Amino acid sequence: MSLRIGDAAPNFKADTSIGPIDFYEFLGDSWGVLFSHPADYTPVCTTELGRTAALKGEFEKRNVKVLALSVDSAESHRGWIQDINETQNTEVEFPIIADEDKKIADLYDMIHPNASETLTVRSLFIIGPDKKVKLMLTYPASTGRNFNEVLRVIDSLQLTANYSVATPADWEDGQDVVVANSIKTEDIPARFPKGHKVIKPYLRTTPQPNR
């Protein structure tokens, strides 16, 4: 069975570019981003890991820990990191998981036989502090991920985990949000004192409550 949103993220122990880790212990009370790559020393992956490293401060202020994975060895990862740092003008400090036996790739359904029976596709999982899967994205090997979108989704997930709201299409941090349908319109002023608009009985908006 493949993982779905809301499922518990499987725990695992693995060797990484920074040494052995236990996934749950590494995350602690933080949010997590776990993302896979087809292989080391590949061009698109090099840019992705460089971009992730450059966004270190953005992940930290959101209490997010990042882990990458490919089916190559930890030794290979450490050599590749030197190339990433050189070509992307950054410093990769987050762990890259060695998954030579593909056990973690199988746990997270990162091997797609129609794409490749040996290489992990570009899968990305956002995992909450409760160790539940909050989001899943899968890209083909030819298309690099948009990490601004990953940060946007984390902002939405963290906001909606704490308030009875949802985020509309193309929402960005600081913009109005949608009041959950579970809240009656007459109860909105007490819950959201910044004000609200009733566009339709089922579509009510309010300024972002945590800004």
Q: Are 135 and 125 in contact (CB under 8 A)?
A: yes
Report the C-alpha gap between 135 and 144 in whole angstroms. 18
Backbone φ and ψ of 170, nearest 5°: 65, 15
Q: Is 45 considered catalytic here?
A: yes
Q: CB count, 10 Å around CB of 41? A: 13
Coil, helix or strand for 158?
helix
Catalytic pick among 9, 45, 64, 159 = 45
Backbone φ and ψ of 47, nearest 5°: -70, -35
- Residues serving a catalytic function are 45
